[in-house]
A = this chain, B = another copy of it.
Amino acid sequence: MTAFVSLADAIAEHVRDGQTVAMEGFTHLIPFAAGYEVIRQKRRKLTLVRMTPDLIYDQLIGMGCAERLVFSWGGNPGVGSLHRLRDAVEHGWPRPLELTEHSHAAMANAYAAGASGLPFAVLRGYVGSDLVDVNPDIATIRCPFTGERVAAVPALRPDVAIVHAQRADRAGNVLIEGIVGVQKETVLAAHRAIVTVEEIVDDLMAPSHNSVVLPSWTVDAIVEAPGGARPSYAHGYYRRDNAFYKNWDPISRDRDAFRAWMGDNVLGATAATHPAKA
């Protein structure tokens, strides 16, 4: 059942060295505050899972938290490379990073399979792609009715899912609105789930009977973390800080500039303070 806890306590209790951790949020609702706290608590040897490693994964990787990345697109959207990710892959700095690389369709289906208690997902995908040669987690199976071949990937079942949402009610039900990404699937696929929210409210005020809701008993920890998705955005609360994304490029190109920025803005901060500017 859901516990309402501080961000520091949520990470301390649920995220351990060596675990597989998925922080999701498709451009929208990226759980930055939680990622910063993982960095502050110096987790190591994590397998980080995420369709679109964003700035927060660039930072986790650059700070040496990760030993493997499971992903499908690792860039700074609309800007360019994730330079810390590149430095880890190209030069092993600060430590080597192993890659398990998928397509978006495969990752999304692998989460859905995990949420569904299935061992694998099937998709029409990867036809003719060399990804099949570099990722042993891509198999081919045959349709028992038509004989057609389709791709199969193992279900994703992270140890911990971390997502950010607009709000939770006091019973612990969580509402996600707008671009909902793969967050619901990620939470349901994971063994444990931490949700940071903009606010905790008396009434969830779901706009529709069919709104995307994570019921309380699917979430282990809820953390009130207003602004917790910045510099990404929270629909209905604040916009994407596009300037932050652009400014990150020069900071992240240089190892020293990166470390200085992390020291000033993350390591020297607490869960209550949140980097406002890059």
Complex interface: chain B residues within 8 A of A118 (CB): 122-124, 150
Which residue on chain B has the smallest CB distance to residue A113? B122
Complex interface: chain B residues within 8 A of A119 (CB): 143, 145-146, 148, 150
Q: Which of A164-219 contact B (CB under 8 A)?
A: 177-178, 180, 206-212
A124-B118, A210-B208 in contact; A144/B150 too (CB < 8 A)?
A: no
A207-B208, A212-B210 in contact; A137/B141 too (CB < 8 A)?
A: no
Complex interface: chain B residues within 8 A of A207 (CB): 207-208
Q: Which of A95-149 contact B (CB under 8 A)?
A: 117-120, 122-124, 137, 139-141, 143-146, 148
Which residue on chain B has the smallest CB distance to residue A138? B144
Complex interface: chain B residues within 8 A of A140 (CB): 144
User: Is residue A74 contacting chain B, with contact meaning CB distance below 8 A?
Assistant: no
Contact of A120 among B120, B145, B178 (CB under 8 A): B145
Would you call A177 and B145 a contact (CB within 8 A)?
no
Would you call B124 and A210 a contact (CB within 8 A)?
no
User: Is residue A154 contacting chain B, with contact meaning CB distance below 8 A?
Assistant: yes
User: Is residue A152 contacting chain B, with contact meaning CB distance below 8 A?
Assistant: yes
Complex interface: chain B residues within 8 A of A143 (CB): 119-120, 152
Q: How far is the CB of A206 from chain B (nearest CB, A)?
A: 8
Q: How far is the CB of A151 from chain B (nearest CB, A)?
A: 10
Would you call B144 and A209 a contact (CB within 8 A)?
no
Contact of A209 among B146, B177, B209 (CB under 8 A): B177
Q: How far is the CA of A209 from the CA of B124 in the complex (A)?
A: 28
Instruction: Flag A65-82 by CB within 8 Å of B: 1 or 0 each.
Output: 000000000000000000
Would you call A124 and B117 a contact (CB within 8 A)?
yes
Would you call B144 and A210 a contact (CB within 8 A)?
no
Chain A to chain B contacts (Cβ below 8 Å), 12 pairs: A117-B124, A118-B123, A119-B143, A119-B146, A120-B122, A141-B141, A144-B152, A145-B152, A177-B209, A178-B209, A178-B210, A208-B210
Binding site for B on A (CB under 8 A): 117-120, 122-124, 137, 139-141, 143-146, 148, 150, 152, 154, 177-178, 180, 206-212, 235
